């Protein structure tokens, strides 16, 4: 039985200290002067921590594949857009896990700490900094891309909008771990694989309403008459509570889950509802 002094000592211990917040990379930043046209249009010096990216990350595309920007005069440079996290900054914790890139030239590296950060702000009654996750640009390979985040129904959702010329070559877009889309020989193509086995294959001028049964991803591809390919991908990344959240694990790690067919098209429908000018600017569902 502990002594009275020992009991007094136990109750006099200070509470465990919370981890100190650390500055995170923006999803579009892969080097000290990197960034998309939203966050660093002139490629000015910007915060970059190389330890937050895996060593095998190609940062994401070689410089030759990125659209060059002209440096801006100091007076015209944008104020820094900072982002902080208090999660463990170690690969073993799962905080640094990244979403796979939907296309090899689109430099967007969203980690779990990004998802957790904006959702923690929502739970704490603070307006989420969704603008930090909203990125856009043009790659040197000719891919125009816009990524829009929205919080709706207590989860974080992303919309990827890509556009490129069909004549540029054989394009391959990875909507998720199970679904690939692209263009070859002037025809749109779609492939679904489960456990490494091809389950479905389609070709034509349009691939609409592709809904993955193994993760929360909806997608579509359209080959326009002017030769431009439009791709839309929608993802539900969950509540951002833990790296093992089923929706995040399915999107980031390719862990299979069984998705109810009644959920198909939900993310696309929600983004279409939020296309009103005021909500589109913020990317935030005021109802939540």
Distance, in Å, from the CA atom of 260 to the CA atom of 270, rounded to the nearest integer, reads: 17
In a structure prediction context, what are the per-residue pLDDT tens digits for the chain, which is 288 residues long? 555 555 555 555 555 556 688 999 999 999 999 999 999 998 899 999 999 998 755 444 433 334 444 444 444 455 557 889 989 999 999 999 999 999 988 999 999 999 999 999 999 999 999 999 999 999 888 889 999 999 999 999 999 999 988 776 567 888 998 888 877 766 666 666 554 544 444 555 555 678 888 899 998 888 877 888 889 999 999 999 999 999 999 999 988 888 998 999 899 889 988 875 544 444 444 333
pLDDT for 202 equals 54
Q: Cβ distance 236 to 249 under 8 Å?
A: no
List, in order, residues 6 or more apart from 97 with CB less than 8 Å away: 91, 111, 112, 243, 248, 252, 253
Report pTM: 0.81
């Amino acid at each position: 039985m502990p002594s009275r002094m020992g009991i007094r000592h136990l109750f006099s211990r200070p509470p465990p200290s919370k981890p100190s917040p650390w500055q995170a990379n923006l999803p579009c930043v892969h080097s000290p002067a990197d960034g998309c046209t939203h966050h660093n249009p002139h490629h000015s010096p910007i915060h970059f921590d190389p330890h937050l990216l895996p060593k095998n990350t190609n940062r994401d595309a070689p410089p030759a594949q990125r659209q060059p920007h002209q440096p801006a005069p100091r007076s015209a440079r944008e104020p820094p857009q900072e982002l902080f996290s208090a999660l463990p900054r170690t690969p073993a914790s799962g905080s640094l896990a990244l979403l796979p890139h939907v296309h090899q030239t689109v430099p967007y590296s969203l980690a779990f700490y990004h998802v957790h950060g904006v959702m923690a702000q929502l739970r704490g009654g603070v307006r989420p900094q969704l603008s930090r996750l909203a990125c856009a640009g043009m790659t040197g390979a000719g891919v125009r891309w816009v990524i829009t985040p929205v919080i709706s129904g207590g989860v974080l959702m992303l919309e990827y909008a890509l556009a490129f010329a069909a004549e540029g070559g054989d394009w391959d877009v990875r909507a998720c771990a199970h679904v690939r889309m692209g263009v070859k020989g002037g025809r749109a193509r779609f492939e679904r694989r489960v456990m490494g086995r091809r389950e479905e294959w389609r070709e034509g001028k349009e691939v609409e309403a592709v809904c993955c049964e193994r993760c929360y991803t909806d997608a579509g591809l359209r080959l326009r008459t002017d030769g431009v390919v439009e791709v839309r991908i929608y993802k539900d990344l969950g509540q951002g509570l833990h790296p093992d959240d089923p929706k995040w694990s399915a999107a980031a790690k390719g862990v299979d889950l069984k998705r109810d067919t009644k959920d198909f098209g939900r993310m696309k429908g929600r983004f279409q509802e939020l296309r009103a000018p005021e909500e589109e600017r913020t990317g935030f569902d005021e109802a939540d």
